[in-house]
A and B are shown apart, each in its own frame.
Chain A
Amino acid sequence: MDLNAFLQTLVYGLALGGTIAVSAVGLTLSYGVTRFINFAYGEFLTLGAYATLALAGAGLALPLAGAVSVVAVGLAGVAIARLAFDPLMHRGLLPLLVTSVGLAFVLHNMVRMVAGANPLRFPLPLMRPWEVAGVFVPREQVATIAVALVAMALVHLLLSRSLLGKSMRAVADDAALARSAGVAAPRVLAATWFLSAAIGALGGILLAVTQVTLDPAMGWRFLLVVFAAVLLGGIGSPYGAMLGGLIVGLGVELGATYVSADYAYAFAFVLLILVLLARPRGLMGGRT
């Protein structure tokens, strides 16, 4: 086996894995508090990427455009959840699931109405990849890995150190108990939606960088990959989602290189199904 090609694949796998890991954290956070799998989550990725593109087109520097987009999509997430999900919170699982699917179609087709269906790309200058010991390391991928690591470190600090993080974990553990202990559930819910959407938007920006192009269905297509990572790590567990994201990303890139490029993402779905069957609570899940 060609070692350089393997290392090359590894770099791409880590970048994709980091992207998936960040995206998976956002989804799993909202699940922990709301207890349903949000099928519209992929649209936060799409919105994040397109908002960044629009702001960059308006003259903002790309990192600044990205930061503004992350906050904007976070706020949009709070508004969307309040309009679409909050009224259904007490009606069981099916209405929430179906609503999130409907919302996904509404959002990504609205993006398509505005931006058109053609693939676009960020105004990134062409950069010569670094050459490290004969392995070409594209700078975009390295930047993606770095941003993903920083984002995950911030999430970790937020969850473990801040009062908000503790409240979120308390609500995730037992909503009724948390409420009786004085945790303001509606505010925690709003904060959770903000974080989920904002982290999703960041995932979308990273996705647009690692995959070079962005199109209106990118988030919807990527959704199952994110599901795979979330379920692999044990749904509701942010650290599990990070690990699951890395495994899925590496798996997809290695599978594409060494087995079949056509089926790269199908591997992730098969992995997802196998995990569901073997360990419905995920590799790191143990709590019922």
Chain B
Amino acid sequence: MDLLAFATSLITLGLIYGLLAVGLNVQFGFAGVLNFGYVAFFAVGAFTSALATLPPPGSPAYVEAGAQYALGLDLPWLAGFALAGLAGGLLALVIGLTSVRLRTHYLAVASFAMAEVVRYALSNETWLTRGEFGISGIPQPGHGTYVPTELYAYAYLVGCVAIVGGLVWAVRQASELPFGRLLRAIRDDELAARTLGKRTARTKLQALMIGGALGGLAGSLWTHSLGVVHVGQFVPIVTFQIWLAMLLGGTGNHLGVLIGAFLLIVIREGTRFLDAVPGLSAVAESNPSFVPSLRFVLIGLLLMVVVRFFPHGVRPDRPRTAPAFTGDLPAVAAAQAAQDAVEGPILSVRAVTKRFGGLAAVDGASLDVARGRITGLIGPNGAGKSTLLDLVSGVQRPDAGTVYLNRRPIAALPPEATAQAGLARTFQNPRLFGHLTVWENLMVAGADARSESLATTWLRVAGRRALEHEIAGRAEAVLAFLALSGLRDEPAAHLSGGQRKLLDLGRQMIRRPSLMLLDEPAAGVNRTLANRIFEHIGELNRQGTSFLIVEHEMDLVMRWCDRVIVMHQGGVLAQGTPAEVQRDPAVIEAYLGGGRAA
């Protein structure tokens, strides 16, 4: 075979698989969606583009080719290409809308099954796809008109370089901006992202659709390069070859994944020379499926070896370095909280109940949190304090009762909506985005829906820079306030317990909420740092933020809280100033009684 022609076809194939791998990487490497049916987008794109560009049945070209397909729209190639992307994106939308709730292996199985359903449909609807026979004579853009046949493969390669290069550049762009940062945050901890006010379902759906559209576009590039399309090209192993390319290159890194695709193609096409191995050809003669099967065995083995011994790929995804910030630091505090015109308690909980099986974790609890104050929430273990925070912040829905934030009912709202209403909460074990750096954790928290939108990402370049600068300013101010500047490029997973607590607090601060619910902000932290955390809380409170704090350390509660609410067995036992509560006989009984029972 002509070496140059062989190399040309390899590079073209590598680019097309690179586009597929980048699409899968958007879905899995960024959004964390375990898609085991990625080949479906490739298939749908290929057929869409083919049927859109074929000459219509009955036309002279159709008759001359002796063709038998039933649909040909005779559209220009570019229209077919665009429609292929649209088809892939729409299929992703369908999959996303139906199964975005599913997690991990359920999603893997469901997407695998969906791809098989698509393949069944393509092979059984023979009137449209000609089933196993497939369709040949798919138009090749410019073939014989602008480009002579003998140069066509080279021209096609140049076109692929331009198209794939442009698409990968655009995707990489989006991935490094707030949109991609949010996706990586969701992959690390979706619930945490939601409690920061992120509409994660929508963002994941967008990522799924971008990935689906890229798969469809790759299908178009592929089918026009071959000139034939048939359903046998879209078997499940194609999905896993794309997975192999992604894992080999480095999940999460688009350029690495592109390299991975080239490695895959070189290895895969290299195995075509297995026949040349002495001895194999003799075996192959008696069993014609010997060598093709051996190739699949090698691909399967490679998949296993890469996952086990080489899980980060040739170009691992590395922690990002934050750009240096220049400009004036804005104020840290909750400017908007001071402007709240509403009077009365900032948070009112009325007769809220939550049962787990037969046990009522929260049983008809009612309480008010005073505006502009620090309120402590104490009680023995199992009193229902953390569950109450879950119910208020929308992490769990109460079985009965109502919750008002600034007189607005929020009990039925999901966490992202309560967060947008001005509520912030931390968890007993900080739920940080472990793979993101300290700076990125803050940037995700500080970004609003506008800066994370795809329109901002790709179209409003000037507006995007201004937004990013504004958020970076707040992040810098928070870093300075919490004295975390030295750790800005450290992945959150590497932080110590106390640093995690601080970053969790900072991630809520940067959003400037009017009410913060903190679940044991100083637990497991040394004395000095605990005092420092409470000094930060006090400072924020002076600037207008209200607090509800679950805390076990009584001297901290006594020192910092204006009011204290005591919970016991799911209900509110007492409330008042720290001194009043401390004298309350019922409270003493609850604590000591609980102590004796334990």
**A97-B105, A272-B109 known; A105+B300 contact, CB < 8 A:** yes
> Given A95-B311, A265-B120, A273-B98, are A105 and B296 also a contact pair (CB < 8 Å)?
yes
A39 to B565, CA, bound (A): 53
Cβ-defined contact, B303 with A273, below 8 A: no
Whether A280 contacts B108 by the Cβ 8 Å rule is no
- Chain B residues near A87: list those with CB within 8 A: 308
Query: In the complex, which residues 282-309 of chain B have their Cβ closer than 8 Å to any Cβ of chain A?
Result: 287-290, 293-294, 296-297, 299-304, 307-308
Cα distance, A216 to B105, chains bound together (Å):
25
Interface size class of B (residues with CB under 8 A): 35 or more
Partner of A98, one of B106, B247, B288: B247
The reply on B560 being an interface residue by CB < 8 A is: no
Q: Which of A94, A97, A102, A273 meets B113, CB within 8 Å?
A: A273
Contacts of A273 in B (CB 8 A): 98-99, 110, 113-114, 117
Please tell me if B496 contacts chain A, counting CB pairs below 8 Å. no
Judge if B243 is at the interface, Cβ distance under 8 Å: yes
B residues within 8 A CB of A91? Answer: 311
Nearest chain-B residue to A101 (Cβ)? Answer: B240
User: Main SS of the interface on chain B?
Assistant: helix
* Residue pair B307, A95 in contact (C-beta under 8 Å): yes
Interface hits, B302-321 → A, CB 8 Å:
302-304, 307-308, 311
Spot the interface stretch: A107-115, A206-214, A243-251.
A107-115
Interface residues in A241-278 (C-beta closer than 8 Å to B): 262-263, 265-266, 269-270, 272-273, 276-277
Is the beta-carbon distance between B311 and A104 smaller than 8 angstroms? no
B73 interfacial contact with A, CB 8 Å: no
- Bound CA–CA A4/B459 (angstroms): 67
Do the beta carbons of B293 and A102 come within 8 Å of each other? no
Q: CB of A36 within 8 A of chain B?
A: yes
Say whether B287 contacts A106, CB under 8 Å: no
- B413 vs chain A, min Cβ distance (A): 23
A101 to B34, CA, bound (A): 13
**B415 to A: closest C-beta gap in Å:** 19
Most chain-A Cβ atoms within 10 A of its Cβ — which of B36, B287, B289, B307? Answer: B307
B110, closest chain A residue (CB): A276
B554 within 8 A of A: no
Interface contact A37-B102, CB-CB below 8 Å: no
**What residues on B are CB-neighbors of A84 within 8 Å?**
304
B112 at the interface (CB under 8 A from A): yes
Among A103, A113, A280: residue with most chain B CB under 10 A: A113
Given A109-B294, A113-B287, verify A227-B303 contact (CB < 8 Å): no
Contacts of B300 in A (CB 8 A): 101-106, 109
Q: B195-207 toward A: CB 8 Å interface, digit per residue (1/0)? A: 0000000000000
- Known pairs A102-B300, A110-B293 / 15 extra A-B pairs, C-beta < 8 Å: A88-B308, A93-B104, A94-B307, A97-B34, A97-B108, A98-B240, A99-B303, A101-B243, A102-B240, A109-B294, A113-B293, A227-B109, A266-B120, A276-B106, A276-B110
Supply 18 A–B pairs (Cβ within 8 Å), ascending by A. A36-B105, A91-B311, A95-B307, A98-B303, A99-B304, A102-B303, A105-B240, A105-B296, A109-B297, A110-B297, A112-B293, A113-B289, A117-B289, A263-B124, A269-B113, A272-B113, A276-B106, A280-B101
